[in-house]
Amino acid sequence: MGINVNKVSAIKLVSLAVAVTFMDGSTGDFNGEFRRVSQDELDEFMTDGLTNSELLDKVLERVSGIGAPDPDNASRLAELPADQQLAFVRASPECVEAAALRFFSAMRQERPAEKTSKRRR
């Protein structure tokens, strides 16, 4: 087992599923393609204090899986054109927050909080 640096360096876009909960309690998801960034860029994003919208301006390339009811079949969603999907995500506070969190969780791969021993509490 190991890491192939040529393969990892060749990755330009990372496709991630983004789950969203809206203000009315409904849920949904979409796929986002994010630009893979270097550790230096990631650190810079953290220290520059970017808003989630500013972060997505820098890393979110495209989205898919967002639609509206199909006029011919109301029980089916017809996928919106790519530019409308991206505009919807950027205009929705819930989508912006969910996409930014998903990007950071994938890039930083943080571990869940570790338990400490009773002596250290």
- CA dist., res. 121 & res. 112, Å (int): 18
The pLDDT value given to residue 116: 47
Domain of residue 78 covers 12-109
Residue spans of the chain under pLDDT 70: 1, 7-11, 109-121
114 domain-assigned:
no
Question: What's the number of domains the chain is made of?
Answer: 1
Give me the amino acid identity at 91: A
The pLDDT value given to residue 79: 92
116 domain-assigned:
no
The pair of three-digit structure tokens given for residue 28, joined into one six-digit string: 């949904």
The pLDDT value given to residue 117: 46
The pLDDT value given to residue 30: 94
119 domain-assigned:
no
118 domain-assigned:
no
The pLDDT value given to residue 109: 65
pTM of the model: 0.77
3 domain-assigned:
no
120 domain-assigned:
no
